[in-house]
C-alpha cells in the first residue's frame, strides 16, 4: 500500500539521522525519558511527540545541526521553535518554552547541543508539569514549516523499537 510505503520511508529517514541527534534538554539522559507518543496530556489530542519533563528554566538544546526556521507563539504550544535539519528533510519542533535564547532569530544557524531556549509551561501545558514538547516531522526541502509527518522521537533516543 502506498500509505504503508510512505510511512516506512518516513520512519527510516528519521532513523538515518537519529545518531546525529541529541536529547534536547540539558541533563536529561535516555533513561529519564518516558514514551509519551499518543498519550494525551493537556493537548487532548493524539500526541505525536515526546514530553520531556524538566524544571522551568532548564536549558533546551538544539537536537541537531540546522537552522531556525520559525519562532512562533500559539495558544496550544505557547512559545515554540521550528528548526530545520541541514539537509532540509526533518523539522524539529520545540514547544511550551519559557523563553528563547537572547538574540535567537529566524534564519539563525544552530549547532547540535547549542542552547536555544529554556523549558517552560507556556501554552496549554500544565504548570505543575513543566516540560519540553519535542516533535520530529519528516518533511522535504521547500515545504512549509508546519507541514510534515510526525515520527516518534522516543525509540530514536533510546534505541528501542518504535510503537506503531
Binders of Zn ion among residues 85 to 144 (CB under 5 A) are 133
Closer CB to Zn ion, residue 48 or residue 70?
Answer: 48
List beta partners, residue 64. none
Closer CB to Zn ion, residue 43 or residue 69?
Answer: 43
What is the contact mask toward Zn ion in residues 27 to 66, using x (rule: CB under 5 A)? ----------------------x-x---------------
Q: How far is the CB of 52 from Zn ion (least distance, A)?
A: 9
Q: Going by DSSP bridges, is the β-strand pair 115-119/109-110 parallel, antiparallel, or unpaired?
A: unpaired
Closer CB to Zn ion, residue 79 or residue 88?
Answer: 79
Using CB under 5 A as the binding criterion, the count of chain residues that bind Zn ion stands at: 3
Q: Could you list the residues that contact Zn ion (CB under 5 A)?
A: 49, 51, 133
Amino acid at each position: 500500500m502506498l500509505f504503508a510505503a510512505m510511512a516506512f520511508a518516513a520512519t527510516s529517514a528519521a532513523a538515518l539521522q537519529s545518531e546525529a541527534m541529541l536529547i534536547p534538554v540539558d541533563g536529561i539522559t535516555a533513561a529519564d525519558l518516558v514514551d509519551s507518543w499518543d498519550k494525551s496530556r493537556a493537548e487532548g489530542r493524539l500526541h505525536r511527540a515526546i514530553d520531556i519533563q524538566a524544571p522551568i528554566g532548564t536549558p533546551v538544546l538544539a537536537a541537531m545541526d540546522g537552522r531556525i526556521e520559525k519562532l512562533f507563539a500559539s495558544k496550544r504550544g505557547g512559545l515554540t521553535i521550528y528548526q530545520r535539519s541541514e539537509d532540509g528533510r526533518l523539522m524539529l519542533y520545540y514547544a511550551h518554552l519559557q523563553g528563547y535564547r537572547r538574540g535567537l532569530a529566524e534564519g539563525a544557524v544552530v549547532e547540535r547541543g547549542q542552547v536555544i531556549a529554556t523549558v517552560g509551561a507556556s501554552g496549554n501545558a500544565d504548570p505543575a508539569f513543566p516540560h519540553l514538547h519535542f516533535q520530529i516531522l519528516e518533511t522535504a526541502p521547500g515545504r512549509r514549516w508546519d507541514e510534515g509527518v510526525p515520527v516518534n522521537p522516543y525509540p530514536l533516543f533510546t534505541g528501542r523499537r518504535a510503537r506503531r
